[in-house]
Amino acid sequence: MAKKTYGLIGCPLIHSFSSQYFNRKFAAEHIDAEYVNYEIHDINELSDVLSVTPSLCGLNVTTPYKEQVIPYLTSIDPTAASIGAVNVIRITRDNKGEVTELRGYNSDCIGFGRTIEPLLTSQRTAALILGTGGAAKAIQAALVKQGIEVQFVSRRKTASTLVYEELTRAMVSKHKIIVNCTPAGMYPHVDEAPPFPFRFVGAGHLCYDLIYNPDETKFMRECAAHGAEVKNGLEMLLLQAFVSYEIWTSSR
């Protein structure tokens, strides 16, 4: 059987550990496969990735394409459809190697749900989600499934989204879970953070940053300085990676 290829599409990918993780997994488990980063600057380049890599059986999708990729799929899992974002694509080919199906899934929702569940307390019943992109939508779905009330916060005001300047001490005090779903602070921009009023954070808060490179972001440092429990996105990355591989290799 020919070597299989899996990969990641997004831009930029300098921060990503996915290639490292999967290639170590393949080597350790003697799996004849490789994982390749495909940094594309436009979602239209997806067709080029598929055509030049006939061994490609599955893709992860990261910023900024988790929503943009949906029109390019031939089918979508109901959970991913309800979230409105895809971060896993399963590629089916015929015996000539031609793509017959691109099916989209969302493993972010599953990974985040598994990693945050042990951290929930009776006080942590409401969350502020910083950002409104594809990752934020997956986090919302995971939190709602846990019975957590959710409020989006962004730089732009909408009917369902607060802007950072509107956040009061009372609002932040009520929402004991704060999740950064923005790229602010991601390597190499390690000195950046969302414009959140960190002075309102306290000891009862759980402040979760989806970023995993660097290990400790400015967002995490600011929150920890005010007594909050903090966590980065590495465990979520690993958990969603497990789910991704299950999706790619399942007989379903």
Catalytic residues, which ones? 66
Beta strands in 158-227 (DSSP E): 161-163, 177-180, 206-209
- Distance from C-alpha of 87 to C-alpha of 6, rounded to nearest angstrom: 13
85 and 106 Cβ atoms separated by less than 8 Å = yes
> Terminus-to-terminus CA distance in the chain, angstroms?
20
- Distance from C-alpha of 133 to C-alpha of 84, rounded to nearest angstrom: 10
In this structure, the number of other CB atoms found within 10 A of the CB of residue 212 comes to: 19
Structure tokens given for 199: 């002075």
- Distance from C-alpha of 9 to C-alpha of 104, rounded to nearest angstrom: 13
Residue type (1 letter), 250? S
Rg, the chain, Cα only = 19
For residue 125, give Cα distances in angstroms to 65, 177, 233.
30, 8, 20
